[in-house]
A and B are shown apart, each in its own frame.
Chain A
Amino acid sequence: MLVTFPHMGNAYIAMKSVLEDLGVEVLVPPPCTKRTLELGTKYSPELACLPLKLNIGNYIEAIERGAEVIVMAGGCGPCRFGYYAEVQREILQDLGYSFKMVVLERPQGNVRDFVKKIAIITGGKTVFRVLASIKRATRVAVLMDELERLCWQIRPREKSGGTVSRLMREFHSQALNTRGSVGLAALIGEYKDRISRVETKGNKEVLGIGIVGEIYTVIEPFVNVSIAEKLGDLGAEVDKSITVSYWVINHLIKEALHLHNKNELQEASYPYLRSFVGGHGQESVANTVLYKRRGYDGVIHLLPFTCMPEIVARSVLPEVSHRYGIPVMTLVLDEMTGEAGYMTRLEAFVDLIRRKKEMKGLYGERILSGD
């Protein structure tokens, strides 16, 4: 029984880890490409958000390669993500594919149902073993995000451009052939070591750009046209407010146990957005404020076209930007996104905040440009 799941940036590493530790045969769908997107847009509702369409593309490409079971997450609103699985199942069924879809969501009172679903995937492993492998996979997700964070830090400072990105490509191709949490953790460790040894220009001043927005567009490089890489090459150190490990730990584990402490986020977003709006809308506003407090120079807000929670965030962000004096650029992503247009906007944004920083420097002691 070959199990597959949709892509979301580096989330496949954690998924691979948990499933392989349980002895499940895993088929990682091929990385998102133009074809994935074309398949997705062809068969999905026109106005559905981009992640749904790419998921469909992932499923089809995985089923073509022999996947039989699809593992998908669920939710209980108000963001559309919670109903994705229902719509996706209908679409695939109407296309005539044969598959089984297991939707994992927070059990609403019915824990037995949840355990049964897990048993379908794992073939009846004990709950203890499942929990243990979830714990190990969470550790792998944390390590993976540390590796990514290291890349964000090194990239704008490296001496010969492109080394980090080349190493990461190498890493991803090796990760596909590495099995289980132990192997993956070792591989991540090895590359962390190699990347931290990349030669850098020691004391180069870099810009700080925070990336906020809808989780899929923030994490999946195919959708955001590798924004972290591009900004790094433009000389900006990025930070993403949402990562896979953050999502797993806070939304899947802590939320289920009612431990998720949202006070800081609520306090930061309060004057502008005073309520939870689903998805990561409130986080987007709060993190913009927090990035300013932490001394970042600019914020980029990403959302897929028609994303409901982020539209609310988008409508209050100009006010936040104005009040706190932090430049915010919103990029709406859909299947029409052209890379060149996107690049132009990123360059312009980086130039703008670099100049802003320089102007401040003129009256201080340091001028930034010209290395």
Chain B
Amino acid sequence: MKPRVGIPRALLYYNYFPLWEVFFKELGAEVVLSGLTNKKILDDGVNCCVDDACLPMKVFHGHIIELKDRVDYLFVPRLISVERNEYICPKFCGLPDMVLNSVKDLPTVIDCTINLRNSSSSLRRAVLDVGRLFTGDYRRIYTAYRKAVLCLESFEGLMEKGATPLEAMKGDYSKAGEYHYSIGLIGHPYNIYDNYMSMRIIDKLRDRGVNVITQDMICSNELDRIARDFSKPMFWSFGKSIMAASRYLIDKRHVKGIIYLVAFGCGLDALVGDLVERRIRKKGIPFCLLTIDEHTGEAGIDTRLEAFIDMLEWGGTAKCW
């Protein structure tokens, strides 16, 4: 029987799943995903995770609980850094430890360390270490990894055409089409694209005829170029792309407004959000900060979204109101 590798549908799933999926499949494993985030997953996560962790961390713990009895391996990589001189976030550095110490009766946890902060050698080692669990054939591991990287690249290409990660995984970017005007939606990918946490914010905006641009839909080279002008290099990868995206959206894409989706308890969002907001407000662009937590009511979010869109649409004809 094929070994079953469980991947939680949370956190970096929205950035790297195509890579992980192809890699494990090529190695002869069966990839098992946890279900879509729902009330039960959230509640389980809240119950077992430390209270002051942020919402996405709690959701991640919920997904682990949902998966753990159906798989032979759980894939919880320790992603310290994915780019030179940058980190993801302290909680990602300790993610496997948090999971191992908070959830009982786990299957084998694959917790390879990826730290590209100073050198890229840890990636190679991580790929080999994980690969060796399934096969002794190094060539097969490398081929699997190369295929996986290609797959990730085409996935990222689709996102830059305007697809959300979920659409891009299906190879579909048809929804990124004709709309009246654009607004920017920034925030951590795992908050924006999780339809339960974000309460389908993207669909809701599109239903109102608004084109949504997230930071993943902007060419990453462009973002890197903007990030070079920061007064101090931003050492969080997500913080960097959020801040660069906000500047890009203001200067280049002429969006009508920007929404920043923040998870309660997120340390990065607290600081990055403040910097972004100050800059956007100085430029006179409408800005909406939506904070989500484990008891956010959907009606409240809907009201604020509607009010924000109304404000944008009436803005041009405001004189007669």
Contacts and interface: CB of A to CB of B under 8 A. Distances in A.
B93 interface: yes
A87 B88 CA distance: 19
Is the contact region of chain B dominated by helix, strand, or loop, or is it mixed?
A: mixed
A146 B88 CA distance: 38
Contact of A45 (B231, B235, B236, B273): B273
A281 interface: yes
Nearest to B86: A77
Nearest to A309: B90
B180 to A, nearest CB: 33
B275 interface: yes
A117 interface: no
A46 B235 CA distance: 21
B242 to A, nearest CB: 13
A342 interface: no
Given A278-B87, A306-B265, A308-B267, A78 B52 contact: no
Given A77-B235, A83-B232, A87-B274, A314 B267 contact: no
Interface residues of A, number: 46
Interface residues of B, number: 38
Contacts of B275: 86-87, 90
B235 A90 contact: no
Contacts of A273: 94, 97
Given A312-B94, A312-B97, A48 B270 contact: yes
A49 B275 CA distance: 15
Give the interface centre of A274, A308, A316 by most chain B CB atoms within 10 Å.
A308
Contacts of B49: 315
A272 B97 CA distance: 6
B97 A275 contact: yes
A94 B278 contact: yes
A45 B275 CA distance: 9
A6 B235 CA distance: 23
B194 to A, nearest CB: 20
A82 B264 contact: no
B53 interface: yes
B264 A316 contact: no
Nearest to B53: A311
A56 B264 CA distance: 22
Contacts of A83: 232, 234-235, 271
4 smallest CB-CB distances across A and B, nearest first, come from A77-B235, A312-B94, A78-B87, A47-B270
25 contacts: A45-B270, A47-B270, A48-B271, A74-B232, A77-B236, A78-B90, A79-B90, A80-B271, A86-B232, A272-B101, A274-B78, A274-B96, A274-B97, A275-B113, A277-B90, A277-B91, A278-B87, A278-B93, A306-B265, A306-B270, A309-B90, A309-B94, A314-B52, A315-B50, A315-B94
Interface of A: 44-49, 52, 74, 76-80, 82-83, 85-87, 90-91, 94, 103, 108, 272-279, 281, 305-309, 311-316, 318-319, 332
Interface of B: 49-50, 52-53, 78, 80, 85-91, 93-94, 96-98, 101-102, 113, 231-232, 234-236, 264-271, 273-275, 278
